Amino acid sequence: MTIYADLLGDDLGRLPVECLALHSDYGRFKGRISVSYARFPGVARLGQMFGFAPPAEDAVLTLDVERQGDQDLWVRNVKGQAMRSVLWVTENGLLAEKMGPATVLMKATIQGRQLHLQPKGFALGSLSLPDWLAPQIEAVEMAELGRYRFEVTISLPLINWQLVS
């Protein structure tokens, strides 16, 4: 069972089949992705330092998902750049994802036929950031026109800059 199957249990079946395909099994998944960064100097480089994809418009995405002990390893490849993240379920039932030096804790809820990931904590290395300083993240997964779709927006709270979408 995948980390998402472990986390959501029977609720996993409430997701559309397009989302189930990704979250119920391991393997290689292919699709298309668009990634945009704020137009401020260094933002794209900062995003890539944390493991995000390079700027892209309708680029090929390959996602490899495999189990490693009690964690899942996700390796996304966009425009020849591999982005690696490790996911696990915390003791208090949150989804943890580590990309580069950043770890985000999220509560996963199914609302209607969408999976929403609500941030509950953020750390850089071993330093936990207070909510007022942590990046604001909006993440939702859904089915659209018979395909799996995800939307992630990351912004900085103090200056209200949208960094990645």
DSSP 8-state secondary structure symbol assigned to residue 93: S
3-state helix, strand, coil in the chain (%, to 5): 15, 55, 30
| Residue for token pair 């969408």 | 114
**Which stretches of the chain score pLDDT less than 50?**
none
What's residue 104's pLDDT? 96
CA 32 – CA 8 distance, rounded (Å)? 26
Cβ-in-10-Å burial (0-12, 13-18, 19+) of 37 comes to buried
Instruction: Express each pLDDT in 38-70 by its tens digit.
Output: 777 777 777 777 777 777 899 999 999 999 999
What's residue 160's pLDDT? 56
* Pair 109, 118: CB distance under 8 Å: yes
- Nearest by Cα to 32 from 70, 79, 66: 79
What's residue 140's pLDDT? 96
* pLDDT mean across residues, the chain: 89
DSSP secondary structure, 9-53, as one string: GGGGGGS-HHHHHHHS--EEEEEEEEE-B-SSTTHHHHHHHTTPP
CA 7 – CA 157 distance, rounded (Å)? 28
Amino acid identity, position 160: N
